[in-house]
Amino acid sequence: MKRILMLAFAAALSMSTSACQDTTNPSSVLSGTYTLRTINGQTPPVAVDATTEIVGGYIRIDRNGTFSDVITYRDASVGSSTYDDSINGTWALSGNTIEFTDVQDPYNPYYATVQNGQLVFTNYASGYTYTTVYAK
């Protein structure tokens, strides 16, 4: 009997603590830093062309509706130096799709699907399709 009461108490306690999370506010659920995990199923570094590879990246989603997206490249044509390509802007959630809008290019948003706590992007560039996955 004591074990049943302890299990009931533990269940009630876990329900009350999960109820304290603000799941109605997408910014509180999604906010955080997501690290680039894979590009077409391969972990970085991944070759982009004959001389350039992606060595890493992250997306930081802030609760105030802004984001930073940074990709780090290595360019073998200039002595294997690395450089960052950064995008900053705003984000909005609709269903399980996040729209990212670059402040420098507001008419060309890009999208990710939220799947199991990950951000999954399907990208189209120069007739080539690739998928990138970011996770906390």
CATH topology of domain 30-135: Lipocalin (2.40.128)
**pLDDT for residue 63 is more than 80:** yes
Q: What are phi and psi of 132, to 5 degrees?
A: -120, 145
pTM for the complete prediction?
0.77
Percent pLDDT > 90 in the chain is: 64
Given this model, what pLDDT does residue 22 score? 41
* Contact in structure between 47 and 38 (CB atoms under 8 Å): no
Residue range 89-104, pLDDT digits in tens = 999 999 999 999 999 9
Distances (CA, A) of 62 to 30, 41, 51, 84, 111: 8, 27, 34, 20, 16
Given this model, what pLDDT does residue 26 score? 59
| Dihedral of the alpha carbons of 120, 127, 105, 46, in degrees to the nearest 10 | 50
**pLDDT for residue 82 is more than 90:** yes
Mean pLDDT across 98-126: 93
Given this model, what pLDDT does residue 6 score? 33
Q: Name the residue among 97, 87, 81, 99 with its Cα closest to residue 57.
A: 87
Residue range 12-61, pLDDT digits in tens = 333 333 333 344 565 678 999 999 999 999 999 999 888 899 999 999 99
- Residue 2: which H helix or E strand, with range? helix 2-19
**pLDDT for residue 10 is more than 60:** no
Domain ranges of the chain: 30-135
**pLDDT for residue 8 is more than 90:** no
- Residue 3: which H helix or E strand, with range? helix 2-19
Given this model, what pLDDT does residue 24 score? 53
